[in-house]
Structure 1
Amino acid sequence: MCGRFKRKSDKQKVAKVFEVTAGIEELDFAPGDDLRPQSMQPIIYLNDDGERRIEMMRWGFKLPDRLLFNARSEGIVNANFWKDAFLAGRAIAPGDSIFEWKEMPKGQKKPKYEITVPGQEPFGMAAVWKLWKNPKTEQWERTFAILTGDPNELVAPIHPRMTTFIEPRDFAEYLAPSERPPVHLLRVLAAEKMHVELVGNSPITNAQVNLFDAQ
């Protein structure tokens, strides 16, 4: 899943990497080391003129009994809450790393891991957005969720879900309007493209992942 992430890139770098052509001048946002659900974050989507626009949106839908800040990639085209957003509200959330905590036996501290995609700074996380009425303010606002899927062999020993990344070559296709939503782009990113580091300790390599469960 994705419940915390870091964005060290400023708006100029984000605009350049994602080829944003609208919204950048009137927008201002700072890098963040611990970005959490319910915060306002920059999101990239296509506007009605077909331009890549960046806009601040709220991360997570606050329902009466839960907070929806992730959407499952599997079956999203049929999911009641998400299918319309995936059809007409696909977006990309820029980030530089995500954080996951490994489940441990009761009483043991959960180790924290930072996951990056070397060569993609910032990377693009698959997201969907839609208009949502904030129950606190009674105002309609643009709200987004980050897609997750099955983990690769590097992340699986840490967490049973993994952020769904969109490769740079696929940004245009993912954002473009389509009668057939591009579910084929919701792939599991190859482990060799990622780097995992135990926060506060030495880096973890692919060869070491089988040691996680012994900790």
Structure 2
Amino acid sequence: MCGRFALLTHAEALIERFGVEEVIKRPEPRYNIAPTQNVTVVVQREKLQLTEMRWGLIPSWAKDVSIGNRMINARAETVAEKPSFRSAFKKRRCLILADGFYEWQKVGKIKIPTHIRLKSREPFAFAGLYEYWKTKSGKMLESCAIITTTPNELMSPIHHRMPVIVSPENEVAWLDPENQDVSELLSILQPYTPDQMEAFEVSDFVNSPKNQGPLCTKPVNTTLFDFSETLSAPSGST
């Protein structure tokens, strides 16, 4: 699953990187984004918008918002068929912006917080779905979920799932609401190239979603999980 991430890149850089045409909500840098909080998304409407949505998808038929607390992720393997997600998968897709995410690697009885990012340090986009839900006051609440897939070689020692990072060349196709080609959309939901990623242990300061600041992403040592280095290491190396 993906249950925590960071977005530190400033709004101007995000607008340029993702070709945003209309800004509805400008994001502030955040080190420790958690479920039920608002997250920064790009969505294709009349214009390509930068806005925010509640993290935790609330289906239109839900009786209350609490269902969203446990619908922060959607599995790529079932997203096209599962009743909670299939309509959004066809018509309401978004990019959820980040520049790093966290997972907790189990080592015995210990869980080690790990930060994962691109080696380039550039922002990227998770594959997201969104829905509308009408509150009792008649206001429309927008909520979203991050799609997950099987882990790549970098992630597999850390966790059995990873969020789908949409390759830049697939972002337009993913956002296009007119694109309802299920096969094409599912082909986008692949594990990201591991040699473009890196991972490192961070402080357990990040364990609490109340905690913010640079300590969340600061390595506790200089050792990185780097898949490309593993590939290039001599056969007798340790």
TM tier, smaller: 0.7 to 0.9
- Pair 1:55 & 2:76 matched: no
Provide, for residues 74-103 of structure 1, a one-character-per-residue CA deviation record: whole Å limited to 9, x for no partner. Answer: 121111100000111110011000000012
**Number of corresponding residues:** 201
Label 1:152 to 1:63 Cα distance change in 2 as closer, same or farther (>3 A).
same
Structure-2 change in CA distance of 1:138 and 1:3 (3 Å): farther
Runs of 4+ with deviation above 4 angstroms: none
1:205 matches 2:203? no
AA aligned to 1:111 is: I
Match of 2:60 in 1: none
What is the aligned partner in structure 2 of residue 142 from structure 1? 142
Q: How many Å separate the matches in 2 of 1:134 and 1:105?
A: 44
For residues 64 and 46 of structure 1, what CA distance do their matches in structure 2 show?
A: 26
Equivalent in the alignment of 1:212: none
Over 3 Å counting, the alpha-carbon distance change for 1:83 and 1:15 in structure 2 is same
* One-letter amino acid matched to 1:33: Y
User: Where do 5+ consecutive residues of structure 2 fail to align?
Assistant: 58-64, 203-219, 232-238
Aligned equivalent of 2:172:
172
TM-score where L is the length of structure 1? 0.86
Deviation string, structure 1 residues 186-211 (Cα, Å, up to 9, x no partner): 11112111111122122222239xxx
**Percent same amino acid at aligned positions?**
25
* 1:42 CA displacement: 1.5
TM-score, normalised to structure 2, is 0.78
Greater fraction of residues in helix: 2
2:113 counterpart residue number: 112
Counterpart amino acid of residue 205 in structure 1: D
Query: SS of the counterpart of 1:103?
Result: strand
Matches within 5 A, 1:14-53: 14-22=14-22, 24=23, 26-47=24-45, 49=46, 51-53=47-49
**Aligned-residue CA RMSD (Å):** 2.0
Aligned-residue offset at 1:119: 2.8
Q: Aligned partners of 2:67, 2:225: CA distance in 1, in Å?
A: 39
State how 1:87-102 maps to structure 2 within 5 Å.
87-102=90-105
Give the residue type in structure 1 aligned to 2:14: V
